[in-house]
Amino acid sequence: MTLFGRHSWRRFGEIAIPYWFSEEKWRARGLIALLALLLLGQVWSDVLFNDQSGEITSALAAKDAPRFWSSIYQCIGILIISVPIYSLYYYVRDRLGINWRKWLTDQFLEKYFSNRAFFELNSNVAIDNPDQRIAEDISTFTQRSLSFSLVIVGAVIQLLAFSGVLWSISQPLVYFLIVYATMGTLVAALLFGKPLIGLNFSQLKREADFRFSLVRVRENAESIAMYRGEEQESQLVTQRFKYVVSNFLNLIRWQLGLNTFQYAYSFLTIIIPSAIIASRVISGELEVGRAIQAAGAFRAILKSLAVIVDNFESLSRFAAGVERLDTFAKSLAGDPSGRPIAGQTIQSLRGPGLALEHVTLQTPNWERTLIVDLSVTIEAGKGLMIVGPSSPFRYPLTAMVS
């Protein structure tokens, strides 16, 4: 799975779009519209603060006290208006996120408990830890979908707002920005994209396997203690934790390379704007404050254009989560008719007692055959004890039927 491939967008759309056309669509659309307005307010505040920072610097350089205090008062006024905008933005975003998560979780749970999907998934080796996919992957999907979408929208608004400021001060800075941001995005996507997505996908799976092995020990504590299965269970849990550590070490090696690139990419922007416009400031063509405004606009526009580079690590984890959730959704869909697949279902009939006729039983992944052509009848009121080894346990599994 690539980060920006056609299949990635298709998978994302199949999970994300239905909510916005569901019975909750008007409330969801209203909240997203409010978020867009709050984003506009944030960018408006940033532009005004950037202008006033230049004014303050120019006033100090010119020793112009009235100009300086006028800018200070304007900054205080902007601050009074902008603080509630920023606070409300995060509240509305999180409120929309939990509404979306609730709706999507309800949809998955309905399918999970329909047509015995929760049971049939045991035979699907491609689906590991469905509990994690419902409890955690859905939450991560809704939160990060909103976060990244709003970051991108905010970047576009910020780009439009600051482009005019920077263009009026230094056109060469604008041209350099476009080339610099494009090259940085291409390097990050082509060099780090595929490895990080694959490693993050594996990390999610192995963390879930490790956690599930600990849960299983707790649920089967009595049987494990009775048959002295501590050593076998300890080996299994330890081995799964080794897989977690091994994959994580590979992951942080790639992240080391990505972090090195990101920091070098960011630090260069401290030097480059000043170097490009230094001659105009030294010659007196530009005020010092205008240079400060240019540097601020440069950083704002670069942040907008480099949104992929700055968030690449989080995007790669998000892409891995989308793939897991998409696979799970398709597995839950199963046969469109909802009918059980022939040969995989035991047909039951009402009657006295319990009878099995010509039953062949295999493990969910068909690795072992447990019973071949079994026929047995148990009369009503009588009991039956079933005893046998249970993989991966080496101690017996006992069940009583009466």
pLDDT of 230 higher than 60: yes
For position 396, what pLDDT does the model report?
45
Instruction: Domains for the chain: give ranges and CATH numbers.
Output: 6-333 (1.20.1560.10), 354-401 (no CATH)
For position 343, what pLDDT does the model report?
52
pTM as predicted? 0.62
All residues at 6 or more sequence positions from 204 whose CB lies less than 8 Å from its CB, including other chains: 132, 137, 320, 321, 324
Residue with tokens 């968030």: 311
Instruction: Judge if the upstream peptide bond of residue 172 is cis by omega within 30 degrees of 0.
Output: no
Higher pLDDT, 25 or 136: 25
Residue 171 phi, psi dihedral angles, 5° rounding: -70, -35
Per-residue model confidence as pLDDT tens digits over 300-341: 777 777 676 667 767 777 777 787 788 888 878 764 333 444
Closest CA to 12 of 202, 192, 141: 141
| Mean pLDDT of the residues in the chain | 78
Confidence of residue 394 (pLDDT cuts 50, 70, 90): very low
Per-residue model confidence as pLDDT tens digits over 57-70: 778 877 888 888 88
Residue at 189: amino acid letter = A
For position 388, what pLDDT does the model report?
56
For position 330, what pLDDT does the model report?
81
All residues at 6 or more sequence positions from 297 whose CB lies less than 8 Å from its CB, including other chains: 50, 162, 165, 166, 169
Closest CA to 88 of 25, 141, 27, 42: 42
Distance CA 314, CA 200 (A): 10
Per-residue model confidence as pLDDT tens digits over 248-269: 999 888 888 888 887 777 777 7
pLDDT of 102 higher than 90: yes
pLDDT of 401 higher than 70: no
Confidence of residue 233 (pLDDT cuts 50, 70, 90): confident
pLDDT of 136 higher than 90: no
Contact 378, 355 (CB under 8 A): yes
Higher pLDDT, 194 or 33: 33
Distance CA 22, CA 188 (A): 36
Residue at 294: amino acid letter = A
- Report CA-CA distances (Å) from 269 to 184, 189, 276, 278, 357: 12, 20, 11, 14, 76
Residue with tokens 């409120």: 95
